[in-house]
Amino acid sequence: MTVLLLALAGGVGAGTRFLLDGLIRSWFRTSLPLGTIAINLTGSLALGFVAGLVLTQHVGSDFQLVTGTGFLGGYTTFSTASFETVRLIQAGRTWYAVINGLGTMVLAVAAAGAGVALADLL
């Protein structure tokens, strides 16, 4: 049953990513991939929160497996962020590539830490 829930949650996460990215792209016309950045930052915050809930024993590890690995694994996308960074370099938009690659990495780690800290407050 857990594997089925994991697969279902992953599909829902991927669908959510697709819809949210399209929505953000329609709102903001820029060379910087704001949709992917927003998705990875919110996903990192949420994963930190889920992991924090498990660490503080507010939820069990099955919740982390389905929500973290399943939904958030489908929702976030390191490979797309990497590809978009390479495409920015190829297009000669070096500063956008630096902002996208390094900025996303630093902010995603900070977001995950903030998520764990939020869970500690409960």
pLDDT tens for residues 28-60?
A: 999 999 999 999 999 999 999 999 999 999 999
**Are 13 and 73 contacting, i.e. CB atoms less than 8 angstroms apart?**
yes
Helix and strand numbers, DSSP H then E, in the chain = 7, 0
Structure confidence at residue 1 (pLDDT): 86
| pTM reported for the whole predicted model | 0.94
Q: What is the mean pLDDT of residues 73-92?
A: 96
Average pLDDT score over the chain: 96
With beta carbons less than 8 A apart as the criterion, state whether 34 and 88 touch. no
